[in-house]
Chain A
Amino acid sequence: QVQLVESGGGLVKPGGSLRLSCAASGFSFSDYYISWIRQAPGKGLEWVSYITHSGSGPQYADFAKGRFTVSRDNAKNSVYLQMNGLRTDDTAVYYCARDKVPGSYYRPDSWGQGTLVIVSS
């Protein structure tokens, strides 16, 4: 079955960096776009980024542009989110999600369990 497992979250000081990983299994990974979506504690959902099946033309929310970089390694069935210049308002659970349709990004139907990022001094 489809499985996505995030890792790499933790406590980091403002201005610091973290690299999140999303390990996928149970499907033809290289056919699917992967998105990152976050949720601050007690708040709603916020889309962060997506990466295409080939890794080209990633898209980012405005708050992520210039600070976050998404990448993937199809040989390792993994997607990464490099986060630099972290701010306290980046504190959130970060989910990776796969779309229900290959080559699409806008109907994520398979989600990981999330990894918690806490940005605090």
Chain B
Amino acid sequence: DIQMTQSPSSLSASLGDRVTITCQASQDISYYVNWYQQKPGKAPKLLICDASNLERGVPSRFSGSGSGTDFTFTISGLQPEDIATYYCQQYDNIPLTFGGGTKVEIK
């Protein structure tokens, strides 16, 4: 199975800060990565697919990049509504696997 190592597991940042989350795959997975946002008690929401393609309706402060084994998710200007846990997910191989998640809080 492909392991997705996500870091950090949690972070605290100020409103307006740039927030960066990384995911490292255990093998080359090209650009086959999605990023999700999950708020407490809610289902995950797909934000970015194919490593860098923003889903329709998702604010442009969210972005993704990377290929191969190293991927980055960025929030450019943290907003109060961005408080959530974020997950990466690979789809190069079955089983689909997720990173461990990054909990984003306001400092």
Contacts and interface: CB of A to CB of B under 8 A. Distances in A.
Contacts of B100: 44
Given A44-B100, A45-B44, A107 B94 contact: no
B46 A108 contact: yes
Given A59-B94, A95-B43, A109 B87 contact: no
Interface residues of B, number: 23
B5 to A, nearest CB: 12
Nearest to B49: A107
A45 B55 CA distance: 20
Place the interface of chain A in its size category.
20 to 34
Interface string A52-65: 00000001011000
A61 B93 CA distance: 11
A62 B42 CA distance: 26
Interface of B: 1, 32, 34, 36, 38, 43-46, 49-50, 55, 87, 89, 91, 94-101
15 contacts: A44-B87, A44-B99, A45-B36, A45-B38, A47-B95, A47-B97, A47-B98, A95-B43, A105-B96, A107-B34, A107-B46, A107-B49, A107-B91, A109-B46, A111-B43
